[in-house]
Chains A and B, each alone.
Chain A
Amino acid sequence: MKKVFGRTRTLRDTHTHYCPGCGHGIAHRLVAEVIDELGIRERTIGIAPVGCAVLAYYYWDLDICEAPHGRPPAVATGMKSVNPKNIVFTYQGDGDLAAIGFNETIHAANRGENITVIFINNAIYGMTGGQMAPTTLCGQVTATTPSGRNAERYGQPIHVAELLGHLPGVTFSSRVALSDIPNIMKTKQAIKKAFQAQMDGKGFSIVEVLSPCPTYWRKTPVEALKFIKKDMTKIFPLGVFKE
């Protein structure tokens, strides 16, 4: 019998600290597979965020730099400027990219920095204990909105992929989901296109990945995937917003 599915070279064979059913594990695998398929492992530098994925440097067998909260696009700008031949990507959550680091993100995108951003949107602050994030859905119960997010008080969730898609410096902006097998395959294709855009020197590319957080959504892993499919994709429509 021939092996048809196994761990890819860039993904270290180690235990991860993520909760059961967390989408980060799937996203890590997809990024690792894309890097190996494009054959760019030796010249790729990743920037890890602050958030649940803060220990990403233990899981990818790549050169990884850790950045302060929200600052991966700024660090990536420096990395890319020093040696433009390197492939530089950031891996950020919604608290990191859409809250404290939105300034860095939007200016890096507007400058058209030739970097790739993998944006994991799970509509909540995972590492700090399930507080409301800018991307939390209206009515969603979190630690800081116990009666559900109220749009009058806190506004509507931020649509990052659409927002950045309007900027001229952005060459690829797409929203995908980890809700089922076809969407996981589409996510891999989107990540590959984003890396390809950077390799072609086109400019800023971002992939927003709707990812499950069963622990702080207070759901089982299976229910969490159904929540993405039924509720989350209604508010955050999937698609390519710029290519």
Chain B
Amino acid sequence: MGKVVINPARCKGCKLCIEVCPRNVLVPSSKNNHLGIYVVEPKKVGECTGCSRCAMICPDVAIEVYR
């Protein structure tokens, strides 16, 4: 069981985290941040294993992972 916390102020919406997530936990949301970017958010929260792949590929270090 894991948990991802995405900082919306750092997310630039590149969606690389969605691509690498093996459990399809992350999805693009309809929420804008202060830059007008549609940020990514965790949806299937219970599926997360805390593997940290999303955080490792995030170019903006917007993701924190707990396990």
Contact = CB atoms under 8 A, between A and B. Distances in A.
Nearest to A24: B59
Given A18-B59, A180-B20, A181-B56, A2 B66 contact: yes
A47 B59 CA distance: 21
Given A15-B9, A26-B57, A222-B19, A5 B64 contact: yes
Interface of A: 1-7, 11, 15-16, 18-26, 29, 180-181, 184-185, 214, 220-222, 225
A20 B14 contact: yes
A190 B66 CA distance: 27
A17 to B, nearest CB: 11
Given A20-B12, A181-B56, A221-B16, A4 B67 contact: yes
Nearest to B59: A25
Given A2-B66, A4-B66, A221-B14, A184 B50 contact: no
A92 B20 CA distance: 28
Contacts of B60: 15-16, 18, 25
Contacts of B9: 15
Contacts of A6: 64-65
Interface residues of B, number: 27
B67 A23 contact: no
Given A3-B65, A5-B65, A15-B10, A23 B16 contact: no
B10 A29 contact: no
A214 B16 CA distance: 12
A6 B55 CA distance: 8
A18 B9 CA distance: 14
B13 interface: yes
A225 B59 CA distance: 12
A38 to B, nearest CB: 19
Most buried by B among A4, A15, A29, A184: A4
A210 to B, nearest CB: 15
Nearest to A18: B59
Contacts of B50: 4
Contact of A3 (B14, B56, B58, B66): B66
B43 to A, nearest CB: 19
Given A6-B65, A225-B19, 7 more contacts: A1-B3, A1-B66, A3-B66, A5-B52, A18-B60, A20-B13, A26-B57
Nearest to B18: A222
B65 A4 contact: yes
Given A222-B16, A225-B16, A184 B63 contact: no
B3 to A, nearest CB: 6
A19 B60 CA distance: 10
Contacts of B66: 1-4
A184 B57 contact: yes
A20 B12 CA distance: 5
